[in-house]
Amino acid sequence: MAEVCISIQQQLLTRWQQAFPDGIIVKAVTELEGDESLATLWLHADGLSADHVVNILEQLRQSDSMIRVVVVSCAPNNSNAMWFFQHGAVGYCHVLSTPSLLQQIDLVVRNGGLWLGPELMNRFAGALGPLETTAQNFDLEKLSVREQQVALQVATGASNKEVAHSLEITERTVKAHMSSILEKLALRDRLQLALLITPQKN
C-alpha cells in the first residue's frame, strides 16, 4: 500500500518523502478516485485555510468512512487541531517532523490509534475533567460487557492492536466492537469516545 499526500506545496515535503520514498503526492482529492490501495493519507495544510482543510476531511470521510487522515503543517495550531479531529483526522503533526517520527505516526494510526503531540494531549486530558459528568449521562448499559471493556480501553488512547492483545481477541473483532459502540452511543469517531468517556478506575 502506498502512502499518499495531498499537497499544493510539494517543496515542503522533503522529510515526508524521505520517510516514504515510495509515497505519492497529489494536488486534489479527485486524483484519488477509485484508488483502494491507500494506507495512510496525509493532508498537507500549508497554503490552505482551516475551512478548506475541514472540507477536504469531510470529502474524504464521505468517500471512505474508514480512511485514516493525518494533517501536517508548518505551523500546527491547537485550536485547528481540535477542529480537524472533530472532522475525522486521526493525527496532526509538523510537516518537518523527522522521517522516523513520521513513520512512527503512520504505525500508530494504522493500528487504530490517534496521534496527538504532547501539548495537544495535555489539552485533551484537561478537557476530560469537566466532561466527567457528561460521561455519566452516556448509557453505557447499551453496550455489552465486552463492548464496555473495548470502549474504556480505546478512551485511554489504546490502539486496536493493544486492545486486542489486552482482551485476547483479534483486531478484526475490536473493529467490529468499535463500529457497534459508535453506533449505539451515537458517536462519530474514537476521538468523541475519548472525550466523552472518562475511564472508570477501580
Q: What is the CATH number of the domain that holds 15?
A: 3.40.50.2300
34 and 108 co-located in one domain = yes
User: Does 202 reside within a domain?
Assistant: no
Query: Which range of residues forms the domain containing residue 44?
Result: 2-117
Instruction: Count CA atoms within 13 Å of residue 104 on its CB side.
Output: 9
Name the amino acid, one letter, at 161.
K
Query: Which of 117, 149, 179 delimits the end of a domain?
Result: 117
- Does residue 124 sit within a domain? no
Q: Give the domain-ending residue among 53, 84, 117.
A: 117
Q: How many domains does the chain have?
A: 2
Q: Are both 32 and 109 inside the same structural domain?
A: yes
The span from the CA of 121 to the CA of 108, in Å, is 15
Cβ atoms of 95 and 102 closer than 8 Å: no
pLDDT (tens, 9 = 90+) of the chain, 202 residues, equals: 578 999 999 999 999 999 999 999 999 888 876 655 566 899 999 999 999 999 999 888 777 657 889 999 998 887 788 788 888 898 999 999 999 989 988 888 887 777 876 556 655 555 544 444 344 445 677 889 899 888 888 877 677 888 898 899 998 999 999 989 888 888 777 777 776 664 443 3
> Of 117, 140, 157, which residue is a domain's last?
117
pTM of the predicted model as reported, rounded to 2 decimal places: 0.64
How many other C-beta atoms can be found within 10 angstroms of the C-beta atom of residue 191?
20
